[in-house]
Structure 1
Amino acid sequence: MADIIQLLPDHVANQIAAGEVVQRPASVVKELLENAIDAQATSIKLLIKEAGKTLVQVIDNGSGMSATDARLSFERHATSKIRSADDLFQLHTKGFRGEALASIAAIAHVELKTKQEDDEVGTNLIIEGSEIVSQEIVVTPKGTSIAVKNLFFNIPARRNFLKSNQVELRHIIDEFHRVTLAHPGIHFMMYHNGNELFNLPESNYRQRIVNIFGNKTNEKLVPVNEDTEVLKISGFVGKPEYAKKTRGEQFFFVNDRFIKNAYLNHAINSAFDGLLKDGTHASYFLNLTVDPQTIDINIHPTKTEIKFDDEHTLYAILRASVKHSLGQFNIAPVLDFDRDAQLDTPYNYKDKGVSTPQIEVDRDFNPFQEQNNFKEQRSSKQATAFKKQTPSSWDSLYVGLESKGTQSQQEFTSVQFETEEKTASIFNDDKALENSKSTYQLHNKYIVSTIKSGMLVLDQHRSHQRVLYEDFLQHITVKESVSQQLLFPIELHFSTQEIDIINQVKEDLEHTGFVFSNVTKESVEISGVPVSVPASEVSVVLEQLISDIENEVPDSHFSSADLLAKSMAKSLAVKTGQTLTVPEQEHLVNSLFGCKEPNMSPFNKTTFITLSVDELDKKFV
């Protein structure tokens, strides 16, 4: 039988490797930014077109490469970061495998311009699908400029799996945030379709966070600093009252490398135990510095997961440090054992000695002797001190008591109460209405109502979601809604990315009844809200809407109005555990069966069930 195993060609092997390294344009952004940082760049510019599908370009002022290194950098497993396998446990750089550029070049058109500081001219290299098209000498400034064009041009199936431009841009911005937060000492700029999205100058860590997430973030941060032999922690956590429904502001950096770790995240949640509302997540921006020999980075293709040598110790230190910071800055209640100066001994009595109190005792006192004999045995001085004053006319205290009691008892028995004449009421009595109610609330979760065939049981939360969903969807579609003007406008602060999301759905929000009086880069001023939205719930509704759009951005085949109506209905629907009056229960039942699709909630969950009399009879067989 002939041999059937053969070696793959290099271009096929590169395309397979690209499947691990490059999932979407954000993966290219991450690899190129990390290469620029490893090149000791102090200024890095990121240019994006059509969410990275057309162009991803990174320009830096780093050390640059020679002509030979530029050619060799696109070969598989060619790297300047390690020399032996032992170097994998002494890593101080971002990239080390030598797979990124080779994988990117296999599935895109790549143009590289690079020059070292001592060279007069640089190198221009053009690669298409792992094939080098040209290599020329070019005049270019110091550093490296690498442009990745037409991603997945030779793998159309992979290109079809890319999401909409909004989704891909959000992933790129997430990667940009992770890299820029880890390196506040580098100047970063980002442009999308010619528009500047971020310009982050060199700054300290706190200022970098504020520049990315808005000026309002500054008052939300609580410093965390701890230095031990095992772990060094620095950074900030967010105050509990500013906790969000999303996990977008949770960042762990280990040796300046962004990681995801559910175990360490649990340590943070444990430190915030009892301080957060249900459904909210704390924000944190923490830098962890550990010995490189105690971690293994080479366990995941994207290097976002790290294996620690002793996770339990890190968990305990991290939890204690965060809890200490929250208590130190009066965020969490703590026991204070500090000395109170008001409890100190007064200055005048500080050096005085303690004197024993003198107590005079009559040792001859006998309570069982008669009073006359007792008087004769003690002196006149002692008699004055211990004599008991007995009233001489004690009988007078009880004079007339019996007669008064008899009189008061007679007066009490002779009291008569006035009563009104009972007349027939025109309207139904509240008690009668209570007895004649057609609905009943069970465990503040279900509404039970009677029907001809048996019994109806509604889930109050899901049913109200369906009612609100169809109401909001009609307002958005018809573009006619009633708005309630606010006496004092509400000003809400968001990050640049969140403001961009609000601008995308601003028109649809206005159709539901929101009135935006002013929208800036960091804040939104609202002067009117829909009638069904309380003013206190406006921030909750918008935060939930932003969260839903970030996690489920509508593609071209999906209606943004539908997503908006779903998000608002989820935020404003009656919650499980909320008590409803009888009229509210009846109104919810009637409103549900006035909907077009009463059987299902907007999220395809059952809203009600029916139990016939026959089914109930079978239960008692």
Structure 2
Amino acid sequence: MASPTFQTSASEPPPRRIRVLPSQLANLIAAGEVVERPSAVLKELLENALDAGARRVVVELVAGGRRLVQVSDDGHGMNPDDAVLCFERHATSKIAAPGDLNAIHTYGFRGEALPSIAAVSRTTLQTCADDSGLGTEVIIEGGQLRAVREVGRTRGTTVTVRDLFFNTPARRKFLRTDATELRHILREMTGLALTKPDLGFTLSHGGRVLLECNPVSTWQERVRTVFGREMLLRSIPVDKSDGTGRLYGLLGRPGDSGGGYTEQFLLVNGRSVQSRVFRKAVVDGFETTTESGRQPFFVLFLELDPAAVDVNVHPQKREVRFRDDRAVYDLIFSAVRSAFSDTASRERGASPERPAEEHTRPLTAGDQTREEAPSAEPAPSGIPSFWNAPPDRPYVPAMAKGADRFHRLSDGDAIYLPGTGSARAAFFALPDIKPSPKERAEDARTAQVALDLVSKSPGSFSASEGLEAIAASELKETVWQFQRKYIFVNTRDGLWIIDQHVAHERILYEEAMAGFAGDVPASQQLLFPTVIELTPEQDAVFDEVEEIFTSLGFGIRRLSDRKIEADAYPGALHNWEDGNVIRRMIDEMRELGFRRTGLKEQIAIAYSCHAAVKSGEHLPPATMRWLIERLFATSMPYVCPHGRPIIVKIETAELDQRFGRV
């Protein structure tokens, strides 16, 4: 085939279509990769401060970082020439030769951050490299140099970024609410604070300090500062080394649920990163220990040979790749599994068996020191709250409503407190529900029940039909629990199987929605108020959700920065857990991003899920009867707020057919 020919004018060459972009346009394109939101600006400025040898870093924010991000450090600073040159693309002091990319020891190295930030904001840099008291100020607006002048200041650098994306309106429209942007900023700050416990960090938003980390000597002390003492004490330590490297840090306990991805930190060689291999190894290590859909807490540090890690993968340096993925996976997975196994072995050896007949101590409001029965041992970690409930007085949530929001204590109210455990959670016994020994033995009737008879979808029935069936049956004699998960009910038409967790979810959901409508549920007053320490991210959103907690029946108020006090909780709440339910609910609200459309419904769903009785918890017959009666008083007793079925109906005719009776 002949080659194509092109006819061209002998006098005029074809027009040139390829051109070198001007530097301002190139910087705007680069900014699209490096600067996606205010948290990216903060990350780059913080990393520059740490590379400059700073011992303390102070961050000031306004409007979630959209109007102002200011980072001040006491590092070595820059001379006048470097102060101007640092805004040129690919100008850096971190690397000088191609071989330097194979073993990067600094946070920054690409030389793209400052010019990219300056291209989409109004940026001012002040810096001083000595103790003369005379430094340099550089002002850039939208990538254009406006001024370079002398300024009086101490050693160090301050970078002030105002009006992010002021010259790119399309980019500005993609920013989220101030609360959402602030959450991303707090995560970036927290990740760096965890990697450098010996440095000081302060972050303020609108003049209010959200994070204050003074220099400490160990990473454990920094974890305590950020996440609180309780999280540090409850977490499981992990520390393992092999020929690949070393993994150490903390893992959330099996059964606990953290605040989602916001309380999961992976740190490689002092850098907070994202890694599919790292994360998969951790999640696989947690497998079978955490309920599906829950996100466990963990802070894990991985130390490797710098040559075995490639950090030059992403423009924002968020992702890393490992030279040997399999070796890294094996180290992390085995370390996580070993930590769980070792902890379980230690706690099995330290936890005594529950005494058969020991009771908790009943106290009354009028005589809190009167002792009527010996005190029980505290429940081992992970054992349901019914451990500390006397067998003749099961805990049943108080559901009665009245004008008084709190259930006032009187001499006739019995309060059961764990003998040596927390004295904050008060269990109020209802005098009209006293199961007999015969009722406590009813669980044995479930031994021969065949679950393969259970239909995969619930039968068609209505709430009115359910009430009629309940009324027609002798409920007291026809209710029992199977595998501490399902409630079996014998009705006139057959057998109903009720999922205890989702049934309680439906009850609590409707209680919560009624509270939002002004009918605040009855509350249980705590004998001793609980002081709850919040993480910086939780504290940043508490003021916006305090009213929601009040609508649900919580008595809660702010004490100080990162500390709140609770003196009451909703009467329908199954387990107070020393206030952990509040932390988890704040995390749920934070994850929702404060969407106003459907917000109350989403909060009610989150509350009902956390507060409901869990699968695996024993329910006395009296409590099961209460649960069923409350369920059929709801508007939709056959489906939970998540859309899952609550009741599976097996008619007698179906059983007869299965057994060949027809």
- Tell me the TM-score normalized by structure 2: 0.67
Note the C-alpha offset of 1:332: 5.6
Note the C-alpha offset of 1:577: 9.0
> In the alignment, which residue of structure 1 is the partner of 2:525?
485
SS in 1 for 2:224: helix
Of residues 317, 333, 339, the one that matches 2:331 is 317
Matches of 1:22 and 1:152 in 2, distance apart? 10
Matched, 1:49 2:62: yes
What are the within-5 Å matches in structure 2 for residues 577-616 of structure 1? 588-589=631-632, 591-593=634-636
Of residues 99, 115, 124, the one that matches 2:112 is 99
Q: Is contact 1:254–1:289 with CA below 8 Å preserved after alignment?
A: yes
Of residues 7, 25, 39, the one that matches 2:38 is 25
Query: How has the CA–CA distance of structure 1 residues 481 and 134 changed in structure 2, closer, same or farther, with 3 Å as cutoff?
Result: same
Matches of 1:103 and 1:507 in 2, distance apart? 41
Note the C-alpha offset of 1:331: 6.0
> In the alignment, which residue of structure 1 is the partner of 2:190?
177
What are the ranges of 5 or more consecutive residues in structure 2 without an aligned counterpart? 1-13, 350-467, 650-662
Matches of 2:25 and 2:123 in 1, distance apart? 17
Q: Is contact 2:573–2:612 with CA below 8 Å preserved after alignment?
A: no
Q: Is contact 1:327–1:334 with CA below 8 Å preserved after alignment?
A: no
What are the within-5 Å matches in structure 2 for residues 94-493 of structure 1? 94-117=107-130, 121-204=134-217, 205-240=219-254, 243-244=257-258, 246-272=260-286, 275-276=289-290, 280-326=294-340, 433=473, 444=486, 468-478=508-518, 480-490=520-530, 492-493=532-533
Q: Is contact 2:507–2:630 with CA below 8 Å preserved after alignment?
A: no
Residue type at the aligned position of 1:545: M
Q: Is contact 2:486–2:499 with CA below 8 Å preserved after alignment?
A: no
Q: Is contact 1:445–1:576 with CA below 8 Å preserved after alignment?
A: no
Residue type at the aligned position of 2:267: F
Matches of 1:311 and 1:506 in 2, distance apart? 45
> Residues 462-501 of structure 1: CA distance to partner in whole angstroms, max 9, x if unpaired?
7865664343223223264422334454554433432443
Q: Is contact 1:271–1:319 with CA below 8 Å preserved after alignment?
A: yes
> In the alignment, which residue of structure 1 is the partner of 2:552?
512
Q: Is contact 1:447–1:459 with CA below 8 Å preserved after alignment?
A: no
> In the alignment, which residue of structure 1 is the partner of 2:606?
567
Matches of 1:247 and 1:111 in 2, distance apart? 34
Matches of 1:429 and 1:274 in 2, distance apart? 38
> In the alignment, which residue of structure 1 is the partner of 2:372?
none
Matches of 1:334 and 1:444 in 2, distance apart? 28
Segment of structure 1 superposing worse, 237-246 or 194-203: 237-246
> In the alignment, which residue of structure 2 is the partner of 1:39?
52
Q: Is contact 2:538–2:587 with CA below 8 Å preserved after alignment?
A: no
> In the alignment, which residue of structure 2 is the partner of 1:532?
572
Residue type at the aligned position of 2:537: Q
Identity of aligned residues (%): 32
SS in 1 for 2:27: helix
Q: How many residues align?
A: 511
Note the C-alpha offset of 1:317: 2.4
Residue type at the aligned position of 1:138: V
> In the alignment, which residue of structure 2 is the partner of 1:405?
none
Matches of 1:249 and 1:509 in 2, distance apart? 22
Matches of 2:300 and 2:558 in 1, distance apart? 34
What are the ranges of 5 or more consecutive residues in structure 1 without an aligned counterpart? 336-427, 611-621
Q: Is contact 2:575–2:611 with CA below 8 Å preserved after alignment?
A: no
Query: How has the CA–CA distance of structure 1 residues 229 and 16 changed in structure 2, closer, same or farther, with 3 Å as cutoff?
Result: same
Matches of 2:116 and 2:574 in 1, distance apart? 53
- Tell me the TM-score normalized by structure 1: 0.71
Residue type at the aligned position of 1:197: L
SS in 1 for 2:69: strand
> In the alignment, which residue of structure 1 is the partner of 2:26?
13
Matches of 2:490 and 2:274 in 1, distance apart? 46
Note the C-alpha offset of 1:173: 0.6
Query: How has the CA–CA distance of structure 1 residues 294 and 50 changed in structure 2, closer, same or farther, with 3 Å as cutoff?
Result: same
> In the alignment, which residue of structure 2 is the partner of 1:73?
86
Q: Is contact 1:220–1:242 with CA below 8 Å preserved after alignment?
A: no
Residue type at the aligned position of 1:564: I
